[in-house]
Structure 1
Amino acid sequence: MDPCVFCRIVAGTEPAEIIHSDDASVAFLDITQATEGHTLVVPRRHRTDLTDIAPEEAASVMSAAVRVSHRLRERLRAPGINLWHASGETAWQSVFHFHVHVVPRYTPTDLVPPWSGPEGSVESLRALGAKLR
């Protein structure tokens, strides 16, 4: 049996509630449901994370995430959507098959943003910007 739960879902050997499927990707309801309709979109081929997926394949996953977002807004009347991706254990990735979380939002407080710390100044970003250019 394939050790990757998402590969098993794509293959149809692991139960999941699939809500979208195309040649490149599969979208299914997340078993943990951060909010009602929380969906994961994965590539059909096993890719570990952002370092292991080609831009074109990632674009196909994002295209499916957009389609799923429209469906969640329309059918669940979600006024907002968050997209979330984590690459690597340090970034809280727990299943090592590339995936995008599509999380419908119903109120501004139904989730707490992890990046809600104090805002810095633009000047404080100059050295970092230079390092990344």
Structure 2
Amino acid sequence: MSVKNGAPYDEGNIFARILRGEIPARPVYEDEHAFAFHDINPQAPHHVLVIPKGPYVSMADFTANAPDALVVGFWRAVGKVARELGLEEDGYRILANAGTNAHQEVPHLHVHIFAGRPLGPMLMQG
């Protein structure tokens, strides 16, 4: 079982509930490894979340504990979503927050794909 700061994975988090079909989402892509859907509070013209199908709280947890096929399949799904949305030509940003200091809001690994306008610097100085 995956853990975050010593606590077990929270099966009640919103992304776990979306994967179980308990909460609706606007899907973009789905396969046996990943589910991609539009963010409900988009930060760019294109803002899609991609989540692995499994109880992983962070990239460190996922890469240490997920089966190899899931890790590879998840990253292939991220690339496929970017291609299918036509984001390759103008560019896009992939972001995954992990933990409190990174402002991870949902304790389930998720990757944001942002595109559709110039995104500016990655981090503000300060």
- Scaled to the shorter chain, the TM-score interval is 0.7 to 0.9
Matching residue of 2:6: none
Among candidates 113, 116, 120, match of residue 105 of structure 1: 116
Q: CA deviation at 1:36?
A: 2.1
Given that residues 46 and 116 in structure 2 are in contact (C-alpha distance below 8 angstroms), is that contact kept between their aligned partners in structure 1? no
Considering fraction of residues, name the structure with more strand: 2
Q: Distance in 2 between matches of 1:9 and 1:65?
A: 18
Q: Distance in 1 between matches of 2:72 and 2:95?
A: 15
Considering fraction of residues, name the structure with more helix: 1
Unaligned runs of 5+ in 2: 1-10
Matching residue of 2:32: 23
User: Per-residue CA shift, 1:66-124, capped at 9, x if unaligned?
Assistant: 011012226xx972211011111111211110011011132x2xx3424354xxxxxxx
Please tell me whether residue 8 in structure 1 is matched to residue 21 in structure 2. Answer: no
Identity of aligned residues (%): 28
Among candidates 24, 34, 53, match of residue 44 of structure 1: 53
Unaligned runs of 5+ in 1: 118-133
**Larger deviation: 57-66 or 28-37?**
57-66
Q: Distance in 2 between matches of 1:98 and 1:71?
A: 22
Matching residue of 1:69: 82
Q: CA deviation at 1:45?
A: 0.8
Q: Distance in 1 between matches of 2:93 and 2:109?
A: 17
Count of paired positions: 112
Kindly report the root-mean-square deviation, in angstroms, between the aligned alpha carbons of the 2 structures: 2.2
Kindly indicate whether structure 1 or structure 2 has the higher relative contact order, using CA contacts under 8 Å at least 6 residues apart: 2
Matching residue of 1:58: 71
Output the TM-score relative to the length of structure 2. 0.77
Q: Distance in 1 between matches of 2:71 and 2:102?
A: 18
Structure number with bigger Rg: 1
